[in-house]
Structure 1
Amino acid sequence: MSDDHDSAISKRIESEVVTMKYVETRTTIPVPHVSHHNARAEEDVRSPYILMSKVDGVPLSSVWDDMDDDRRRIVIQQVIDILLELWSHRFDKKGALFDESDGSLCVHSSSLFVDPEDTGTRHRLLTTSYSHAADYWLAYANAQLLDIDESNFGSDTKPYIHSQAWFMRSLIPALFDPSIDIHGCPLSPGDFHSQNIMITDIISSHPRITAIIDWEFSGPDFASSFVQYPLFIRNVRDRVMFDELILEAERKHNPVDDLRLSRLISDSYGIYLFHQAMYFPGMYSLVYPLLFAYVFGDNEDFSADYYWALMENGILKRDQKRFEQEREVWLEACQVLGEEVVDVNMTRTEFRDLVLKSQEKFDNEGSNGRGLFRGTHPTVNR
Structure 2
Amino acid sequence: MSPSVSSHSSSVDPRVQTTFDIVNWDELSSLGCTLAQLPQGSCHWGEQLSGGYNLVRFLHLHDDQQTIVVARVPLRSEDAMSEEHFSAISKRIESEVVTMKYVETHTTIPVPHVLQHSVHAEQKVRSPYILMSKVDGTPLSSVWDDMDDDKRRIVLRQVIDILLELWSRRFDKKGALFNQADSSLHVQSSSLFADPDDTGTRHRLSTTSYSHAADYWLAYANARIHDIDESDFGSDTKPYMHSQAWFMRSLTPALFDPSIDTYGCPLSPGDFHSQNIMITDADSSHPRITAIIDWEFSGPDFVSSFALYPLFIVDHPHWDEDHPLRARNVRDQATFDELILEAERNRSPTDGPQLSSLISKSSGIYLFQQAMCFPGMYPAVYPLFFAHVFGDDEDFSTDYYWALMENGILNRDKQRFDRETEVWLEARKVLGEEAVGRNLTRKEFKELVLKCLERFDDGGGVRRWLASSH
Would the TM-score normalized by the shorter structure come out above 0.5? yes
**Cα RMSD, aligned residues only:** 2.1
1:346-375 deviations in whole A, cap 9, x for unaligned? 2222222233333333454x236xxx5158
Match of 1:244 among 338, 341, 350: 338
Native 8 Å contact 2:171 2:264 kept in 1: yes
Q: Does 1:367 align with 2:457?
A: no
Query: CA 1:352–1:201 in structure 2 vs 1: closer, same or farther (change >3 Å)?
Result: closer
**TM-aligned CA deviation for residue 4 of structure 1:** 1.7
Q: Does 1:377 align with 2:467?
A: yes
**TM-aligned CA deviation for residue 294 of structure 1:** 0.6
The 3-state SS of whatever aligns with 1:186 is strand
* Structure 1 unmatched ranges of 5 or more: none
Q: Does 1:71 align with 2:151?
A: yes
Query: CA 1:335–1:73 in structure 2 vs 1: closer, same or farther (change >3 Å)?
Result: closer
The 3-state SS of whatever aligns with 1:42 is coil
Could you tell which deviates more after superposition, 117-126 or 261-270? 117-126
Q: 1:149-160 counterparts in 2 under 5 A?
A: 149-160=229-240
For residues 349 and 208 of structure 2, what CA distance do their matches in structure 1 show? 24
Query: CA 1:126–1:168 in structure 2 vs 1: closer, same or farther (change >3 Å)?
Result: same
1:274-307 deviations in whole A, cap 9, x for unaligned? 1111111222222211111111012435423321
The 3-state SS of whatever aligns with 1:98 is strand
Query: CA 1:120–1:300 in structure 2 vs 1: closer, same or farther (change >3 Å)?
Result: farther
Query: CA 1:285–1:324 in structure 2 vs 1: closer, same or farther (change >3 Å)?
Result: closer
Q: 1:1-382 counterparts in 2 under 5 A?
A: 1-117=81-197, 122-126=202-206, 128-234=208-314, 235-300=329-394, 302-364=396-458, 366-367=459-460, 373=463, 377-378=467-468, 380-381=469-470
**TM-aligned CA deviation for residue 70 of structure 1:** 3.0
Percent sequence identity over aligned pairs: 76
Could you tell which deviates more after superposition, 299-308 or 90-99? 299-308
What is the identity, as a one-letter code, of the residue corresponding to 1:93? K
What is the identity, as a one-letter code, of the residue corresponding to 2:467? H
Could you tell which deviates more after superposition, 137-146 or 253-262? 253-262
Native 8 Å contact 1:4 1:116 kept in 2: yes
**TM-aligned CA deviation for residue 75 of structure 1:** 1.8
Q: Which has the higher contact order (CA 8 A, sep 6+)?
A: 1
For residues 402 and 132 of structure 2, what CA distance do their matches in structure 1 show? 56
Query: CA 1:102–1:301 in structure 2 vs 1: closer, same or farther (change >3 Å)?
Result: farther
For residues 437 and 345 of structure 2, what CA distance do their matches in structure 1 show? 61
The 3-state SS of whatever aligns with 2:177 is strand
**TM-aligned CA deviation for residue 230 of structure 1:** 1.0
Query: CA 1:104–1:305 in structure 2 vs 1: closer, same or farther (change >3 Å)?
Result: same
Query: CA 1:233–1:346 in structure 2 vs 1: closer, same or farther (change >3 Å)?
Result: closer
1:23-70 deviations in whole A, cap 9, x for unaligned? 011111111111110112222112221111222222222222333333
For residues 240 and 99 of structure 1, what CA distance do their matches in structure 2 show? 40
Native 8 Å contact 1:134 1:176 kept in 2: yes
Query: CA 1:330–1:247 in structure 2 vs 1: closer, same or farther (change >3 Å)?
Result: same
**TM-aligned CA deviation for residue 74 of structure 1:** 2.1
**TM-aligned CA deviation for residue 377 of structure 1:** 1.6
For residues 282 and 435 of structure 2, what CA distance do their matches in structure 1 show? 63
For residues 70 and 337 of structure 1, what CA distance do their matches in structure 2 show? 66
Could you tell which deviates more after superposition, 94-103 or 351-360? 351-360
The 3-state SS of whatever aligns with 1:129 is coil
> Which residue does the alignment assign to 2:319?
none
The 3-state SS of whatever aligns with 1:97 is strand
Native 8 Å contact 2:224 2:372 kept in 1: no
Native 8 Å contact 1:198 1:210 kept in 2: yes
Native 8 Å contact 1:151 1:346 kept in 2: yes
Query: CA 1:217–1:269 in structure 2 vs 1: closer, same or farther (change >3 Å)?
Result: same
For residues 183 and 422 of structure 2, what CA distance do their matches in structure 1 show? 60
Native 8 Å contact 2:263 2:352 kept in 1: no
For residues 204 and 357 of structure 1, what CA distance do their matches in structure 2 show? 71
Count matched residues: 376
For residues 283 and 210 of structure 2, what CA distance do their matches in structure 1 show? 47
Query: CA 1:63–1:347 in structure 2 vs 1: closer, same or farther (change >3 Å)?
Result: closer
The 3-state SS of whatever aligns with 2:251 is helix
What is the identity, as a one-letter code, of the residue corresponding to 1:99? N
The 3-state SS of whatever aligns with 2:312 is coil
**TM-aligned CA deviation for residue 252 of structure 1:** 1.6
Could you tell which deviates more after superposition, 196-205 or 305-314? 196-205
**TM-aligned CA deviation for residue 220 of structure 1:** 0.5
The 3-state SS of whatever aligns with 2:286 is coil
**TM-aligned CA deviation for residue 124 of structure 1:** 4.5
**TM-aligned CA deviation for residue 123 of structure 1:** 4.9
1:173-192 deviations in whole A, cap 9, x for unaligned? 11111111111110001111
Query: CA 1:301–1:252 in structure 2 vs 1: closer, same or farther (change >3 Å)?
Result: farther
Native 8 Å contact 2:244 2:382 kept in 1: no
Native 8 Å contact 1:127 1:136 kept in 2: no
Native 8 Å contact 2:115 2:132 kept in 1: yes
Native 8 Å contact 2:423 2:465 kept in 1: no
* Structure 2 unmatched ranges of 5 or more: 1-80, 315-328
